[in-house]
């Protein structure tokens, strides 16, 4: 069932919005224990997570209780951090965007989410380089103001990086759009930043080119620090950047809406000369298929990179009803795998079945992460057997094995583990294991700069800044 | 000799041969330990008995001599040996250039045809780290680094315990 979302345009979100950091952090459980079972009934056991596991508090950093600290042990710790973050970011939100402490993720099946109140880049890097509206107030792009009643978000990007800013890429580096099997429609993308990220950009005037030119320090976004009994000052959440991938959901075309987090969104396509395309906007039910979380933390100055997918993306996932088809793979299709659709790329065209994306995951999810996924999915199912959140899985978490590497030294990336990581909906066409070519979050974002070619601390967003008064 | 012991001895010997510390050559948390690839390459390219002799000789040196005396012992017992010496020098080249050169036997006067060990190794040649540069087509350094003075990197511990092979004009 489509969810009612915060109203865009007519309603200005008022009040202070906590960027996920206002609730008191709960003690987190980092356990290898299997889910506990409710043995009261003789039927399927209902798993119960340890208290505090499903929490609305975004973890400020990973915890590392394991000893010895091997790559596998630390990977597990970061994977737990990823799931904690996923749950907290997708926690039911109050009208001001903060997590609702009186609700539980998925208790109603689906729910509005905390990160939906985060700022989008178009709200921060304005065409005239002016100061963004304060946190909690939204600035719709001009082209969206007269499109009729606004009941949802605007999804414009058809590739992970917008066309006018070569920062993230059509998917990365204009490698091509992703087309779903059910509808033949392009996937859409959005990026969101949390309040710590927004405040850093605004307080340092990094939202326009003149401000970036005047900023002579090394760009260093806020770092998440876990609360400590030794430190009584508030511990910062740190910078969080979200990237989400969405597909059209239409039950008449075979989609299973009960397996997706959904929104009602304006699917907007800009006018184009090649191919000649008029602007268009449709109100569509969209389902979440890909979800990146980038979080700068004390243990990972190169940021922690978590990526999730809907379980049916490249193959039909667990507990699917008969007849369910994968979102981006058809075993009967002859279209070559991991190949973008034929040009010209026109988001308004519904592609025929024989040209829809055939996506294969080139690096399998490792066994330990699969086991952790099963555990968290069971816990989410324990909240509500109809929870949409049980149908998401962690692909992996990339983290620096040498976090102390100097950002100005010859090896600033800190030797990431795993060395390569791709989300099949966000880096579809750059999967693989070739250094500097295949998808690696840290290695790629290490190349990000400001508009005056200075290192921008692993985010390409600062390249979107315009001059004061307009223009590049 | 177990594989783990082989790796420990290979890394220990390599530390003396290259001048980089053992933890630099084989970081405990490395997701793609190049030392493992280099040892595998050595074993695939060189007669097993000679590899065993090389590693056992180093193991004996490490057990019998304090660390500050080990480089001289490696010089006299390994590099001066007509069988092990060329292999050890080729190991130095492999670490610095990520290439296994086929002509490791006899007196090496130049560079014979070789093979890049792997794409992972290609990015991790010690030559690049020592000179704070990068191989063609791969760089982690930030845009515009070429306009800035080099930054000292503590992990580039060249010279701290470096063994210089004067017999080859200091190629290492």
Q: Could you report the per-residue pLDDT of A176-216, keeping only the tens digit for each? A: 899 999 999 999 999 999 999 999 999 999 999 999 999 99
Look-up of token digits 């948390």: B29
Both structure tokens of B72? 């001289």
User: Among residues B79, B86, B89, B76, which one has the least CA distance to residue B106?
Assistant: B86
The verdict on residue A25 lying in a domain is no
Give the gap in angstroms from C-alpha B55 to the nearest C-alpha of chain A.
26
The verdict on residue A380 lying in a domain is yes
Cα separation, A285 vs A180, whole angstroms? 14
Range of the domain at A434: 57-464
Optimal mutation site among A398, A410, A458, A460, interface B, most CBs of chain B within 10 A: A410
User: Among residues B88, B110, B132, B104, which one has the least CA distance to residue B45?
Assistant: B104
Residue B159 near residue B141 (C-beta atoms within 8 A): no
Interface ipTM: 0.81
SS3 call for A392: strand
The verdict on residue A32 lying in a domain is no
Nearest CA in chain B to A418: B31
Both structure tokens of A72? 């596998």
- pLDDT for res A153: 67
Mean pLDDT of chain B: 84
Nearest CA in chain A to B146: A410
- pLDDT, one tens digit per residue, over A88-121 is 999 999 988 999 999 999 999 999 999 999 999 9
Counting Cα atoms < 13 Å in the Cβ hemisphere of B88 gives 33
Residue A272 near residue A177 (C-beta atoms within 8 A): no
Give the gap in angstroms from C-alpha B57 to the nearest C-alpha of chain A.
30
A15 sits in the region (left: phi over 0; alpha: psi -120 to 50; else beta) called: left
Chain-centroid distance of CA A149 in Å reads 27
Cα separation, A364 vs A336, whole angstroms? 19
pLDDT band, very low/low/confident/very high, at A146 (cuts 50, 70, 90): low
The verdict on residue A151 lying in a domain is yes
Does residue B97 have a pLDDT over 90?
Answer: yes
Element (H, E) at A390: none
Does A74 sit within 8 Å of B141, measured CB to CB? no
Contacts of B149 in chain A (CB under 8 A): none
Element (H, E) at B141: none
pLDDT band, very low/low/confident/very high, at A250 (cuts 50, 70, 90): very high
The verdict on residue A1 lying in a domain is no
Cα separation, A148 vs A190, whole angstroms? 21
Give the closest of A71, A409, A410 to B29, CB-based.
Answer: A71
Cα separation, B16 vs A51, whole angstroms? 52
- pLDDT for res B40: 98
Give the gap in angstroms from C-alpha B117 to the nearest C-alpha of chain A.
14
Share of chain B above pLDDT 90, in %: 67
Domain total in chain A: 1
Optimal mutation site among B20, B31, B153, interface A, most CBs of chain A within 10 A: B31
Look-up of token digits 């000369």: A273
Q: Say which residues have a Cβ less than 8 Å from residue A71's Cβ, sequence separation at least 6.
A: A401, A417, B29, B30, B31
Does B32 sit within 8 Å of A411, measured CB to CB? no
Cα separation, B73 vs B65, whole angstroms? 8
Contacts of B30 in chain A (CB under 8 A): 71, 401, 415
Cα separation, A188 vs B163, whole angstroms? 57
Give the closest of B32, B137, B151 to A436, CB-based.
Answer: B137
Both structure tokens of B153? 């990197």
Neighbours of B146 (CB within 10 A): 8
């Amino acid at each position: 069932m489509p969810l009612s979302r915060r109203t865009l345009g007519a309603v200005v979100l008022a009040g202070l919005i906590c960027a996920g950091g206002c609730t008191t952090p709960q003690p987190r459980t980092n356990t290898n224990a299997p889910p506990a079972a409710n043995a009261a009934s003789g039927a399927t056991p209902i798993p119960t997570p340890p208290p505090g596991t499903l929490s609305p508090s975004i973890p400020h950093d990973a915890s590392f209780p394991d000893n010895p600290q091997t790559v596998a042990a630390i990977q597990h710790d970061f994977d737990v951090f990823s799931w904690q973050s996923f749950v907290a970011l997708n926690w039911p939100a109050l009208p001001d965007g903060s997590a609702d402490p009186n609700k539980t993720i998925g208790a109603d099946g689906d729910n509005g989410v905390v990160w939906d109140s985060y700022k989008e880049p178009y709200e921060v890097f304005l065409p005239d380089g002016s100061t963004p509206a304060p946190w909690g107030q939204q600035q719709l792009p001009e082209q969206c103001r007269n499109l009729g009643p606004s009941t949802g978000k605007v999804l414009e990007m058809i590739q992970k990086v917008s066309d006018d800013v070569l920062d993230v890429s059509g998917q990365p580096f204009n490698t091509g759009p992703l087309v779903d099997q059910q509808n033949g429609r392009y996937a859409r993308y959005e990026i969101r930043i949390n309040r710590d990220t927004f405040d850093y950009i605004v307080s340092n005037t990094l939202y326009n080119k003149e401000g970036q030119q005047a900023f002579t320090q090394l760009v260093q976004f806020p770092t998440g620090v876990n609360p400590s009994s030794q430190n009584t000052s508030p511990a910062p959440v740190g910078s969080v950047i979200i990237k989400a991938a969405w597909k059209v959901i239409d039950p008449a075309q075979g989609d299973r809406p009960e397996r997706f987090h959904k929104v009602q969104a304006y699917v907007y396509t800009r006018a184009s000369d090649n191919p000649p395309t008029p602007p268009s906007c449709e109100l569509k039910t969209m389902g979440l298929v890909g979800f990146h979380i980038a979080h700068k933390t004390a243990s990972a100055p190169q940021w922690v990179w978590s990526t999730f997918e809907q379980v049916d993306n490249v193959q039909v996932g667990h507990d699917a009803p008969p007849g369910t088809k994968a979102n981006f793979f058809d075993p009967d299709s002859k279209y070559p795998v991991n190949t973008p659709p034929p040009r010209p790329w026109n988001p308004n065209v519904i592609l025929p079945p024989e040209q829809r994306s055939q996506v294969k995951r080139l690096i399998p999810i490792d066994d330990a992460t699969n086991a952790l996924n099963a555990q968290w999915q069971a816990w989410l199912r324990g909240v509500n057997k109809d929870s949409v959140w049980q149908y998401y899985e962690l692909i992996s978490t990339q983290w620096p094995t040498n976090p102390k590497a100097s950002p100005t030294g010859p090896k600033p990336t800190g030797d990431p583990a795993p060395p390569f990581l791709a989300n099949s909906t966000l880096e579809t066409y750059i999967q693989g294991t070739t250094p500097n070519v295949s998808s690696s979050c840290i290695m790629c974002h290490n190349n990000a700069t400001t508009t005056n070619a200075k290192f921008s601390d692993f985010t390409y967003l600062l390249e979107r800044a315009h001059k004061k008064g307009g223009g590049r | 000799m177990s594989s783990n012991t082989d790796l420990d001895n290979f890394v220990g010997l390599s530390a003396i041969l290259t001048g980089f510390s053992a933890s630099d050559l084989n970081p405990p948390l490395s997701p793609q330990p190049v030392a493992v690839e280099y040892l595998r390459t050595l074993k695939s390219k060189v007669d097993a008995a000679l590899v065993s002799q090389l590693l056992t000789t180093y193991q004996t040196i490490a057990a019998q001599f304090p660390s500050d005396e080990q480089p001289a012992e490696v010089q006299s017992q390994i590099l001066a040996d007509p069988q092990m010496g060329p292999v050890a020098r080729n190991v130095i080249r492999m670490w610095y250039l990520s290439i296994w050169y086929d002509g490791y036997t006899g007196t090496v006067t130049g560079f014979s045809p070789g093979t890049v060990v792997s794409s992972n190794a290609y990015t991790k040649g010690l030559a690049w780290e020592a000179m704070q540069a990068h191989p063609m087509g791969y760089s982690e350094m930030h845009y515009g680094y070429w306009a800035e003075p080099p930054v000292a990197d503590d992990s580039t511990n060249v010279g701290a315990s470096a063994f210089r092979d004067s017999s080859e004009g200091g190629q290492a």
